[in-house]
Amino acid sequence: MFERLLAKSVKGSGKAETIMEHTLNLLSEYKTLKATYPNILTESEWEILRDACYYHDIGKANTKFQNKIRDLKERIEDELKELEEVPHAYLSCAYMPIKKLREKYSKNELKCLMMAVYYHHERKEENQIASEAVIEKDLPKYIEALKKEGFDLPEPPSKNYSRYVKKPLKLQELYPFIRIKGLLNKIDHAASAHLPVELPPENLTNYLDKFMKNLNSQPNELQTYLKNHPGENLVIVASTGIGKTEGALYWIGEEKGIFTLPLKVSINAIYDRIKNEIGYTNVGLLHSDSQLEYMKRFEEEFEFSLSVLKQTKQLSMPLTVSTIDQVIDFAFLYPGFELKLSTLSYCKFVIDEIQMYSPRLVAFIIMGLKYITEMGGKFLIMTATLPPLFIHFLEKEKIPFKRPDKPFLKLNEKGQVISRHVMKIQQKDLTAEEAIDHGLKRKTLIIVNTVTKAQQLYKEFKEKGIKVQLLHSRFTKKDRFEKETSIKKLGKKTCTDSGIWITTQVVEASIDIDFDVLFTELSEATGLFQRMGRVYRGREYEGQEPNVYVYTGDFLPSGISETNKKSVVDYVAFEKSKEVLLQYDGQRISEALKMEIIEQIYSLENLGEESEYVQELKNTINQLKNLLPYEQKEKPKLRDIENVQIIPYSVYQKNEKTIVDLEEELERIKQESPNNLKRKLEIQQQLQEFTVEIPYWAYKKALNSNLFARNVSMGRFIHFPVLSYKYSAELGLIYDIDEDANFM
């Protein structure tokens, strides 16, 4: 027999861990969770969770598992070697003293405990024949060894636990189990990583008050309202630039918070602002590039950055700034969703700029909020433009929330609502001549719907000898960073330089800039108002001439099609936006009027059932409502477009020596020091500087057109295809064949 019953094998420079050592680690983290958030469970639920921690891994005391995590020389004979391995979670239930536990718990409480242990790992369905044989012939050998380790086991292993582990089909009946199982997973992950399950929150209010005092400022009406309503679910409409971020942080206060935004650039900026300006350091950064962002910020503390990343991914930070897709996917009810939902049940959940999400993602948000509030969590939706369609579906799903009687509008020094925009509608195409005719003022921003249109306009200006700069999503990371830095420099309120920038919707919410005049194609009203937020961002506009020119196209503007599959936005939303906006041509567009316009366009009645946006929103909500828990086996992909990172061939040629040297260095690391994760990630980061993200369809088109040269490989799962699409630092990527590519 084994002298020590192991739960964890030796990994790296660590040591093996016995079942009791691992269990004690869980119980320690259980105490940390209870001390940090004592009110998230009832006393009986805390006791159930403690017992779940105590018994969850005891089933690892079986011959197959103990042999599996040992060297060959340490293994013993397996008398049941013809049988498949039984997952240890199922065997843990066999060891549990059911008679004793029946005296302690009600039937439902005992079921909740047993299910939490039984399902704490997602495994294939239990093989009853194998389980019964192992319980009868193998587990009894380990009773004395377990007792020696300190486990209280008054009964022999039992096969009679099946009636306690059958899941109900309705989600609401599963809530007690979800809470316990999710928190058990959270504690287990923390104990396995030897990291705290939760870092205690500090009072954000104190940090914000100090921040305000340093600015010689006081909380405004919005911030005061949010500060005074911390226990309510809220839907807030407020002007751009009014201080919604500070207001949301006041609302979170002393509690755990998750703050979501649509774009990674915005998230990075708010993360840095919370840490560096407000001074609250225990904040996590969660999106698809978190690891690389942490590496940049903790350059000299790599191991620390890894531990912070692990805590962030396990939602253990007191405040996390995240993209919505990293959190809200639990609404798909896939196996393992419980950790996120149980954590959100004691969170303050902030959703900023909800109007920027696709209808599918909005559906996930609505159903996610339904489950969160039913579990006891709180939410705050903040936006400058709130489509009434969202309110309709929140109310339809009976999600409780409070909405103030009026929006919060930015005021000037006299206490009057600030006026920032005079709008002119042009029913023609946006061209370089149009912008020139209306005067290229000090800081001119041109926003169009597609990259192709942006590139076309850039060429038009260049042909006329006018200096202009271009920014869109199809530049390499290196070139895009340089361009974003440049546009932000010009876009500072204190900058008095002049310049013209042509961009796409990448600047709608991701880049904090303040320009003097905007020329833009119409997409739809919410997108237009986001774009208008980049002009006179926090300033009063007292002029009478338009500082916003909106182009609806001779027929249609770029990216808009009556066939929705080819349209960047819903065609019905575009048409309705155009119809309503024309009523206000030449007028001063106040913040209150913007909100009225949104009300006129984005109701269910006005968009109508034929709108693809409405159809997708309704259909996705119905799909999610009709899902049985655990019916879907995989997490959903919530991003609207599946992108591929590629290296344009001309970029590869220009940087070939650097790229090849990095590949060779990576190969040497694999051979000589495979655990040097820091350098591997640094190489990945350096190679990514040469990449452009393109849609999957464009990647497939390149493959089908023989435009593929080679893969720049980072390992089995990460590689960057080199494709011969045209590319220049001026124009970015063009989906034309690069005739200079010489590998053909």
Q: For residues 434 and 416, is the Cβ–Cβ distance under 8 A?
A: no
pLDDT tens-digit series, residues 49-104: 999 999 999 999 999 999 999 988 999 999 999 999 999 999 999 999 999 999 99
Q: Which of 113-122, 371-380, 678-687 has the lowest mean pLDDT?
A: 678-687
- Summarize pLDDT for 409-468 with one digit per residue, the tens: 988 888 888 889 999 999 999 999 999 988 787 899 999 999 999 999 999 999 999 999
User: Do 226 and 236 meet the contact criterion of CB atoms below 8 Å apart?
Assistant: yes
Task: List the structure tokens of 171.
Answer: 């989600």
**Residue 539 has what pLDDT?**
87
Average pLDDT, the chain: 92
What is the token pair recorded at 361?
A: 């993602």
Global confidence as pTM: 0.93
- The pLDDT assigned to 429 comes to 97
All structural domains of the chain, each given as residue ranges with its CATH number in brackets, are 6-193 (1.10.3210), 204-396 (3.40.50.300), 423-589 (3.40.50.300), 643-737 (no CATH)
Return all residues near 325 (Cβ < 8 A) that are at least 6 apart. 361, 638, 639
pLDDT at 619: 96
Report the pLDDT value the prediction gives residue 638, as an integer from 0 to 100.
84
Task: Give the mean pLDDT of 522-529.
Answer: 94
User: What is the residue type of 230?
Assistant: P
- Say how far apart CA 77 and CA 706 lie, in whole Å: 56
pLDDT at 421: 96
Residues 6+ apart with CB under 8 A from 724: 648, 649, 702, 707, 709, 737, 738, 741, 743, 744
pLDDT digits 0-9 by tens, 179-238? 999 999 999 999 999 999 999 999 999 999 999 999 999 999 999 999 999 999 999 999
How many CB atoms neighbour CB 198 within 10 A?
24
| Per-residue confidence (pLDDT) for residue 398, from 0 to 100 | 97
The arithmetic mean of pLDDT across residues 720-744, rounded, is 83
Evaluate whether 324 touches 359 at the Cβ level (below 8 Å): no
CA nearest to 330, candidates 298, 362, 365: 365
pLDDT digits (tens, 9 = 90+) for 129-158: 999 999 999 999 999 999 999 998 878 899
What is the per-residue pLDDT across 305-327, written as a single tens digit (0 to 9) for each?
A: 889 999 999 999 999 999 999 99
pLDDT of 17 higher than 90: yes
For residues 345-373, average pLDDT:
95
The share of the chain scoring above pLDDT 70, in percent, equals 98
Mean pLDDT value across residues 259-287: 92
In this predicted structure, the answer to whether residue 108 has a pLDDT above a threshold of 80 is: yes
Exposed e or buried b per residue across 325-339, where buried means at least 16 C-beta atoms within 10 angstroms of its C-beta:
bbbbbbbbbbbebbb
Q: Which of 12-16, 159-163, 320-324 has the highest mean pLDDT?
A: 320-324
Q: How far is the C-alpha of 532 from the C-alpha of 513, rounded, in Å?
A: 11
User: Where does the pLDDT of residue 744 fall: very low under 50, low under 70, confident under 90, or very high at 90 and above?
Assistant: very low
For the record, the structure tokens of 73 come out as 């020389």
Q: Which long-range contacts (CB under 8 A, 24 or more apart) does 294-302 make?
A: 295/678, 295/681, 295/682, 295/685, 302/677, 302/678
Distances (CA, A) of 533 to 129, 183, 516, 716: 66, 41, 11, 43
Query: For the chain, first and last CA: distance in Å?
Result: 65
Tokens of 541: 């506009």
Give the SS3 label for residue 405: coil
Q: Are 227 and 250 in contact (CB under 8 A)?
A: yes
Q: Which residue has the higher pLDDT, 303 or 722?
A: 722
Q: How confident is the model at residue 640 (pLDDT cuts 50, 70, 90)?
A: low
Confidence of residue 349 (pLDDT cuts 50, 70, 90): very high
Contact 262, 433 (CB under 8 A): no
Report the pLDDT averaged over residues 674-693. Answer: 89
pLDDT of residue 678: 85
Q: Which of 242-251, 561-570, 617-626 has the lowest mean pLDDT?
A: 561-570
In 3D, which of 449, 499, 519, 506 has the Cα closest to residue 475? Answer: 506
The better pLDDT of the pair 269, 621 is held by 621
Mean pLDDT of 338-354: 96
Taking the C-alpha atoms of 66, 68, 74 and 80 in order, what is their torsion angle to the nearest 10 degrees? 70
Q: Is the pLDDT of residue 661 over 50?
A: yes
Look at residue 12 in the predicted model and tell me its pLDDT: 58
